[in-house]
Amino acid sequence: MIPRRVRLLFLTLLPLTLAAEGKVPPIWPQIQGIFPRGGQRGAAVKITLKGRNLQQTRELRFRSPHLTARVLSATPYQVEALVTLAPSAEPGRHDLRLLAPHGSAIGYFDVGTVAERTEKEPNNHPAQAEPLPFPALVNGILTAGDYDYFRLEAAAGQTLTFDVLATRNGASTDAALALLNEAGDELAFSDDYYGFKDPHLRYTFAKTGRYLLRVHGSSEAGCDTCDYRLRAGTMPHVETVIPAGGQPGQPTTITLRGVNLRHLAGVTLGDGLAEGEVLTATATEATVRLTVPPHAAPGVYKLHGRDALLPASFVVSTFPEFAVADGSARSRKDPLPVTLPVIANGILNRPRAADHFAFRVDGPETVVLEAHAMQLGYLTDPLVALYDESGNRLAWQDDPTTNTGKEPANLDPHLVFRLPRAGRYTAMIRDAQFRGDPAFLYRLTIKKAEPDFSLRVVGTDDTLYRGRTNTILVRVRRLEGWNEPVEVYVPHLPPGVSVQPVVAEPKNTPYTGTCGETHYLDGTNVEMQITVAPDAPPLAGHLEFRGRSRGVERIARTRYFRARIRHIGDAEEDHLRVTIADAPGAVLTVPPALALGKDHTAALTVIVTRLDEGRAEPLDLAIEAAADGLTATAAPVPPTTTRAELRLRAEAKAPGEFVVVARRAGAVIGRSHPIRLRSPQ
């Protein structure tokens, strides 16, 4: 079996990590907002993380050694920390892991290259617009109904780019962007820029003058943690790279297309993996010589133009690559001949464009047509087809998986087809919607099939509770004709942890759609039962999931899944991070604040989840850590009751905050977050 040398793109998995017994409420750390969500490299920035269960946070950790963080303070709802960014830190998004004794969580942090500032309210009307000197990077928050106005000046013929980084960076902000003239007329507008909800505008001004930029929540949506990072200016902006990949050790000349490229000073591959030399540059195109180092591992890297607005994707692979000259493969009757394996990098530069490649096989052969476009951030939604010598279409594929509500879509086709006999065949690629544009780039890999499988763990972090069996889902995906069972197991188990191997049969997991129809996941889900002994020692480390079949062994990678923004992707760390902790006997879910005036009473609803299974005693609820003058009365909570009510009375004004505790037979078995008391409106 030839192992897969390149596996860029992957299966998708559900973010389900379940406890085998009674479901544990989310008492592990959850990050809801980070502000500012980035900083300029070479600087230090104080950030605030907001969320739940953040108490006792002891560390914020980056994978990149160029980024460090120090926790300054931590409460259940908020962590403050100082992040130091080395001048050598790679621009772009980085995983930021929060570590606490009861679990861990991942957020994102963006490294920028220009000086940053924070928007200043009030800036809700054009008359209050803030100046926006270029290059600009503004960190802002969009509350509900909030409008942030910025004023700028532009010269006739000048091209400016505006980019709002929000959902791509883990924020739940659904932002929109409008460029207005001085009279308030809308010149350009962007809400969702293609595959993500972040707006993005490029605009060439016809007249010299003053203009306004408006950032706001789509339909005025917003929240206290809905942050954004607005980048704007005349900086170089690379939209396409062709070829968008190269082989290790091979020098390659790549063409960058975009705007404001005339002064592009150079490019950097990944985290300083290689430097590219600019050979020629015009406003819209630059050529760069780049040598991928021989030791570079296959995978997707970011290509950073120096001081550029955004990075572009660049793939290191071991297959021969070539750039398709514009229009050279447009004919079905006269396709461009290629030899397998090969990666064609092309642009569908006009509507209805389709590129065709002819190849030969010497006998019956299973071949693969694999397109990469949307997963690399390009606009093309590819469709591939395979034709025989007579022009008959043998097979086609559009989307391997669409968004069925169970899992996100994978719109880049991966067609595997058995050719019946030796001969000349033609592979075709086009945009599925017949669109075309100079930015419609694709990478098409044509090769013989290499049957293989891959594994993914959904989620990056998990808390395993002592004395309980915890379930973790692993998705096994069979590739290019692999049709054998795969045994999934966990080697190198920590003390006190046990898990039985599970066999994934070669059959995709079915599920029922909302109308009762049957769908299949893109692979087979297996449930790994992780049992933690009551006396298992503390652990803050990793679990490695592996799969083996017919002598082939693969290690599972982890993927994050951000349900609120339906965002899925590879985590920087390969393995699932686990924390072993004690589950409390009862979890008390309470609101973060309660309105209560002096000499008034109020009802506090407490959701009680009992994890002390099998115990029949009732619970007593009480308050703790309360300031003088706050009293509470409550009836015992029977074992089967999940909703209780405390009557509170305040005899003093603004008595501060308090905690609800649950006692069983006098012993505290659960404790709520602090509840802030505030005066009624």
Residues forming the site for another protein (CB under 8 A): 124-125, 147, 167, 178, 184-185, 187-197, 200-204, 214, 216, 218-220, 351, 374, 379, 381, 383, 393, 396, 398-399, 402-405, 408-409, 411, 432-435, 437-439, 565-568
Calpha distance 469→531 (Å, rounded): 4
CB of 373 to another protein, least distance (A): 12
CB of 245 to another protein, least distance (A): 23
CB of 363 to another protein, least distance (A): 28
What separation in angstroms does the CA of 663 have from each of 23, 587, 630, 644, 659? 21, 11, 19, 14, 13
Which strands make up the sheet holding 643-650, listed edge to edge? Answer: 586-589, 600-610, 643-650, 630-633
Considering the complex, state which of residue 169 and residue 268 has its C-beta at the smaller distance from another protein: 169
Considering the complex, state which of residue 23 and residue 207 has its C-beta at the smaller distance from another protein: 207
CB of 507 to another protein, least distance (A): 24
Considering the complex, state which of residue 118 and residue 219 has its C-beta at the smaller distance from another protein: 219
CB of 447 to another protein, least distance (A): 23
CB of 393 to another protein, least distance (A): 6
Considering the complex, state which of residue 191 and residue 275 has its C-beta at the smaller distance from another protein: 191
CB of 192 to another protein, least distance (A): 4
Backbone angles phi, psi at 57, to 5 degrees: -60, 125
- Indicate the residue type of 669: I
Output the DSSP codes for 97-113.
EEEETTEEEEEEEEEES
Considering the complex, state which of residue 568 and residue 608 has its C-beta at the smaller distance from another protein: 568
Tokens 């591939």 locate to 384
Backbone angles phi, psi at 219, to 5 degrees: 55, 30
- Indicate the residue type of 372: H
Considering the complex, state which of residue 58 and residue 564 has its C-beta at the smaller distance from another protein: 564
Strand, helix or coil at 168? Answer: helix
CB of 555 to another protein, least distance (A): 25
What separation in angstroms does the CA of 392 have from each of 340, 369, 396, 399, 625? 21, 17, 11, 21, 78
Q: Which residue, 391, 245, 414, is CA-closest to 331?
A: 391
What separation in angstroms does the CA of 264 have from each of 90, 128, 289, 301, 439? 18, 35, 13, 19, 19
What is the separation of C-alpha 234 from the centre of its chain, rounded to a whole number of angstroms? Answer: 28
Considering the complex, state which of residue 164 and residue 201 has its C-beta at the smaller distance from another protein: 201
Considering the complex, state which of residue 433 and residue 498 has its C-beta at the smaller distance from another protein: 433
Considering the complex, state which of residue 184 and residue 495 has its C-beta at the smaller distance from another protein: 184
Q: Using the 8-state DSSP alphabet, how is residue 311 labeled?
A: -
Calpha distance 64→61 (Å, rounded): 9
Calpha distance 300→312 (Å, rounded): 10
CB of 158 to another protein, least distance (A): 13
Considering the complex, state which of residue 52 and residue 519 has its C-beta at the smaller distance from another protein: 519
Calpha distance 448→342 (Å, rounded): 10
CB 243 within 8 A of CB 323: yes
CB of 396 to another protein, least distance (A): 6
CB of 206 to another protein, least distance (A): 10
Considering the complex, state which of residue 372 and residue 673 has its C-beta at the smaller distance from another protein: 372
What separation in angstroms does the CA of 669 have from each of 55, 537, 584, 606? 18, 21, 6, 15
CB 75 within 8 A of CB 54: yes
Sign of CA dihedral 83, 88, 92, 98: negative
